[in-house]
């Protein structure tokens, strides 16, 4: 939740007339050490993007995907030409994509602000589960 709040993923607003908010849910996961012992517990907030309607909540869902053979060719070329290859991992990558559409989401369970129970989250950044999240991340990077 810290990364969601620090990225200013949403703002609380009153639901405009004629709009329906999409729901959200928490997805919990355990990460294990190589010996099988539990390392950490992870939680991710996921928007219920399957309720989005094309042309209203999103317009395009394109996101490029690299084939394994293409990556192998790039590594082979880098090896032949002595090029340094750098790998990076971005935590919470989808939270960095800016949304162009107006998407309203219900407040997440366990984080409903007192005095603002009737407000909804207007998403400013994309969340996991949204149809347009991969496209927005690719556009940002």
Say if residues 65 and 72 touch (Cβ distance below 8 Å).
no
The first and second tokens of residue 116, run together, are: 């603002």
pLDDT tens digits along 2-53? 777 777 788 888 888 888 888 888 889 888 888 988 888 888 888 887 777 7
Q: What is the pLDDT of residue 58?
A: 67
Q: Would you say the pTM of this structure is higher than 0.75?
A: no
List the structure tokens of 122. Answer: 């207007």
């Amino acid at each position: 939740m810290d990364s969601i709040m620090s990225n200013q993923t949403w703002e609380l607003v009153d639901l405009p007339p004629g709009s329906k908010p999409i729901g959200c849910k928490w997805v919990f996961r355990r990460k294990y050490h190589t010996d099988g012992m539990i390392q950490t517990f992870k939680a991710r907030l996921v928007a219920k993007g399957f309720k989005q309607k094309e042309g209203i909540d999103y317009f395009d869902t394109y996101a490029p995907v690299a084939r394994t053979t293409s990556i192998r060719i790039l590594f082979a070329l880098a090896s032949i030409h002595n090029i340094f290859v750098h790998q990076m991992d971005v935590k919470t990558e989808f939270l960095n994509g800016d949304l162009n559409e107006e998407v309203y989401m219900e407040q997440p369970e366990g984080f409903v602000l007192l005095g603002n129970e009737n407000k909804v989250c207007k998403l400013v950044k994309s969340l996991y589960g949204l149809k347009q999240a991969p496209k927005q991340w690719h556009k940002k990077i």
